[in-house]
Amino acid sequence: MHKLRIEGGVPLAGEVRISGAKNAALPILCASLLTAEPLFVENIPHLRDVTTTLGLLAQMGVGVSLDEKLGVELTARDLTRLVAPYELVKTMRASILVLGPLLARKGYAQVSLPGGCAIGLRPVDQHIKGLQAMGAEISLEHGFIVAKAARLRGTRIVMDLVTVTGTENLMMAATLAEGVTVLENAAREPEVVDLARCLNAMGARISGAGSDVITIEGVPRLHSARHRVMPDRIETGTYLTAAAVTGGRVRLRETRGDILDAVLAKLAEAGARIDKGADWIELTLPGRPRAVSVRTAPYPGFPTDMQAQFMLLNAVAEGTAVVTETVFENRFMHVQELKRMGADIEVEGNTAVVRGVPRLSGAHVMATDLRASACLVLAGLVAEGETVVDRIYHIDRGYECIEEKLTQLGARIWRVN
């Protein structure tokens, strides 16, 4: 099993390209199920979750063709198996996103229940309730969601809680429904907007994406389209935080500042100077950052996927900060590993009090989930001595070529057995 070995103490400096957003790419790949015509998707990140999704689509009968420029052509003309098996769903909960498209186009879907998740429950009840409101017959059989519908019908759906994948699943299903569907209390994330842009390019009629009310006028069929996936705002925020904690200066290309305003505001509060253009962001922070309290919330609030990275920032900052997690119930598992490196953190419930220390010490640590692994890599960059991060298969799910990109910025980091 591979590990990352890091020798800390080097301020990051230089320029690096940001990859396409995983959380936008996955639903967009699943959108290929909505049409028999080819969907061309550009700027796809090379990640484990993307590979898993492409494998899932291929076993359903989708033709998958990759090019050398981070692009993929998907053709779902002949769907032979309308099933998402447990073997694939258990490795990636986003597999639930095939449910809506399959049901809308083929009238049937059989999708394994996702099962456990390290960072929380992540229930799929909002997906099921929404599809039932659109006329689907849904049963749970032997661990599978079995859904049937001759044709879905447009309706008004008020979601009990804000759910990104729930919004995406219902929005895709509604594109082929009869009549108009209104999704209220919808997720506002930029990835939802990117999916809507792709669907509209395919002939869907969606308005309101990016607000909490999305309206979808159903059409008889969708057609071929070409779409470029938006930049990954969490990868962007992670590299900016890496520069901040190491006292460095980095310039990130092929990204946007308007998709992570809450993160940029907190980095500025920590003492960073931030400059940005249409497709680049530059951060400079000499010396130690200042402690900044954060509270996670659905977009446009502070993203839960940046909480672990800011826990690390506060661990080495001047002052004391409070980090409050409101989205997932088990997302402080990186704290014990940071404490082994010398961090001063006390956790009570969903709140962590972080007292900054002048330095961390390198140690052998273990990642528990994707963003925790990023946090520990950043800790290794700033710690004295050598840090080894174990179970890095987590990081390969969400960060494309992380050691190569950090090496471009001057980090001393290697993948070892």
State the catalytic residues: 117
The dihedrals phi and psi of 102, each to the nearest 5 degrees, come to: -60, -45
| CA distances in angstroms from 354 to 44, 97, 288, 364, listed in the order given | 36, 37, 15, 21
**End-to-end Cα, the chain, rounded Å:** 6
Residue with tokens 């998707």: 41
Closest CA to 249 of 42, 23, 11, 415: 11
Sort strands 386-390 and 364-366 into parallel, antiparallel or unpaired: parallel
H-helix or E-strand spanning residue 42: strand 39-42
Copy the structure tokens of residue 391.
């179970």
Cα separation of 21 and 194, whole Å?
10
- Residue 163 tokens read as 């759910």
Distances (CA, A) of 396 to 48, 50, 347: 6, 10, 28
- The set of residues, in sequence order, having a beta carbon less than 8 Å from that of 92 and lying 6+ positions away, is 49, 52, 53, 397
How many CB atoms lie under 10 A from the CB of residue 385?
A: 15
